[in-house]
Amino acid sequence: MLLKNKVALITGGAGRNGLGFATARMMAAQGARVVILDLARAEPAAAATLLGEGHLGVVADVTDKASCDAAAAEILQALGRIDILVNNAGITQPRKTLDITGADYDAVLDVSLRGTLYMSQAVLPAMREQQSGAIVCISSVSAQRGGGILGGPHYSAAKAGVLGLARAMAREYGKDNVRINCVTPGLIATDINKGLIPDDKLQGILDGIPLNRIGEPNDVAGCVVFLASDLAKYLTGVTLDVNGGMLIH
């Protein structure tokens, strides 16, 4: 088992069809004690029970610093350590540049970018004290190619910000044996894009994906597990593309 006895915290992990929950399931199968963190309406405790015995659900809002700090404190109190953080919570909006309002900007940047900063800040002191830890941040192909398929420019900016933030944190925390890496998923079938791709657009999208299919949550989960595990113990600051070849470069 790749993650035996590790405590793994996954933000935005409660959506049963999402990347976070697929990662939670795979990490639990690899021996980790998993904590699913999500908004109250997503019912993280109910999601955690689906993983089996010993896993936890925590309600928190990653855009709120006090909420992130309280969640980390609760987990440290209950489980004694946090070995892995997956910064997965994110929202998107289909917008054109001129249509992005200040509220849109705040909503999208706050969850992906501010949330990645606040949750990382909440766990890094414990990881530094342990002199070990792995953080995996979920960015997007949208950050690299200037728009994925559905998100607006503010989403690309948020996800590009995650890449820069993660690389800078990786430099700062390498000496403490804390590794910080990113995954950039392409188009993966989850609730974030459900029903939003018109049938007449699908073939055009597939034509741009050498592996000729839309991704599945487990395609991303496997890569997150790898980066979080000791198999990747000499990797920090990397960006792992998980997009079926959409962006070979």
Q: Which residues are catalytic?
A: 155
Neighbours of 191 (CB within 10 A): 10
Interatomic CA distance for residues 35 and 38, integer angstroms: 10
Q: Are 37 and 43 in contact (CB under 8 A)?
A: no
Interatomic CA distance for residues 227 and 234, integer angstroms: 10
Q: Does 79 bind ligand NAD (CB under 6 A)?
A: no
Which residue in 7, 51, 187, 224 binds ligand NAD (CB under 6 A)?
A: 187
Which residue in 130, 132, 193, 239 binds ligand NAD (CB under 6 A)?
A: 193
Nearest distance from C-beta of residue 243 to ligand NAD, angstroms: 9
Strand order in the sheet with 33-38: 56-59, 33-38, 7-11, 84-87, 133-138, 178-185, 239-242
Q: Does 11 bind ligand NAD (CB under 6 A)?
A: yes
Beta carbon nearer to ligand NAD, 177 or 222? 222
DSSP-derived secondary structure letter, 36:
E
Which residue in 63, 144, 156, 229 binds ligand NAD (CB under 6 A)?
A: 63
Nearest distance from C-beta of residue 205 to ligand NAD, angstroms: 11
Nearest distance from C-beta of residue 90 to ligand NAD, angstroms: 2
Q: Does 76 bind ligand NAD (CB under 6 A)?
A: no
- Smallest CA-to-CA distance from 2 within 220, 236, 229 is with 229
Amino acid at 93: Q
Q: Classify the phi-psi angles of 180: left when phi > 0, otherwise alpha if psi is within -120 to 50, otherwise beta.
A: beta
Give, as ranges, the residues between 96 and 115 that touch ligand NAD (CB under 6 A).
Answer: 111-112
Beta carbon nearer to ligand NAD, 147 or 237? 147
Interatomic CA distance for residues 162 and 202, integer angstroms: 28
Output the six-digit token pair for 249: 């470069």
Q: Does 244 bind ligand NAD (CB under 6 A)?
A: no
Q: Does 190 bind ligand NAD (CB under 6 A)?
A: yes
Q: Does 241 bind ligand NAD (CB under 6 A)?
A: no
Residue range at the interface with ligand NAD (CB under 6 A); choices 38-46, 96-104, 128-136, 168-176: 38-46
Number of residues located near ligand NAD, criterion CB under 6 A: 29
| Angle between helical axes of 115-130 and 65-79 (0-180°, round to 10) | 30
Q: Does 229 bind ligand NAD (CB under 6 A)?
A: no
